[in-house]
Amino acid sequence: MSFDVPDDRGYMESHEWASDEGGTARVGISDFAQDELGDIVFVEFPDEGAEIAHDEQLGVVESIKAVSDLYSPVSGTVTATNDELLDAPELLNDDPYGEGWLVEVDLADESGLDELLSADEYRDQIE
């Protein structure tokens, strides 16, 4: 089975991604992660305004069969949350890189995305 790993973003070993939106970053989970979890039924993430830090807990995602912690790929301030996920957590399964995004973050510093795995490096990890 092969999983979608878009080249235009960086990845965490723990299967979150962040995309550079010019000063802010959008954060979500990978196609591999959503497939491993199975049917996602619940998601919890910080409120707008919250400070989050790279590799620290960002929230929780629950599928029918498992609970999984989410880790933040970036450091900064949450500027937007995808509240549609509260009523439709299945968007995380259906469109993990698009409509299933979790939060947007105002990056604390420019180097924010540099320490993430590239798409190629992440592909090697999940193969």
Partner 1 sequence: MALRTPPLGAAHEDRGAKTTEFGGWEMPVEFDSIRTEHESVREGVGKFDVSHMGEIVVSGPDADELMNRLTSNDVRTVDAGTAQYAAITDADGVILDDTMLYRLPESHSDEFLFVPNAGNDVAMEERWESHRDEWDLDATVENRTEEYAMIAVQGPDSADLVAEATGDDALAELPNFAATDATIAGSEGLLARTGYTGEDGFEVIFPSADAEAVWEAFDCQPCGLGARDTLRMEAGLLLAGQDFDSEENPRNPYEAGISFAVDTDTEFVGRDALAAVEESGPDERLVGFELDERAVPRHGYDIQNGDGETIGTVTSGTMAPTLGVPIGLGYVPADHADPGTEIGIVVRGEAKDAHITALPFYER
The residue ranges that bind partner 1 (CB under 8 A) are 1, 38-39, 41-42, 60, 62-65, 67, 86
How many C-beta neighbours within 10 Å does residue 13 have? Answer: 13
- Both tokens of 118, joined, read 């590239």
Residue 119 contacts residue 5 (beta carbons within 8 Å): yes
For 113, which DSSP code?
A: G
Q: Which is nearer to partner 1, 39 or 56 (CB)?
A: 39
Distance in angstroms (rounded) separating the CA atoms of residues 20 and 27 = 9
Task: Compute the least distance from the CB of residue 47 to partner 1, in Å.
Answer: 15
Q: Which is nearer to partner 1, 53 or 60 (CB)?
A: 60
Task: Compute the least distance from the CB of residue 32 to partner 1, in Å.
Answer: 13
Task: Compute the least distance from the CB of residue 60 to partner 1, in Å.
Answer: 7
Task: Compute the least distance from the CB of residue 70 to partner 1, in Å.
Answer: 13
Q: Which is nearer to partner 1, 12 or 43 (CB)?
A: 43
Distance in angstroms (rounded) separating the CA atoms of residues 81 and 102 = 6
How many C-beta neighbours within 10 Å does residue 115 have? Answer: 13
Q: Which is nearer to partner 1, 13 or 39 (CB)?
A: 39
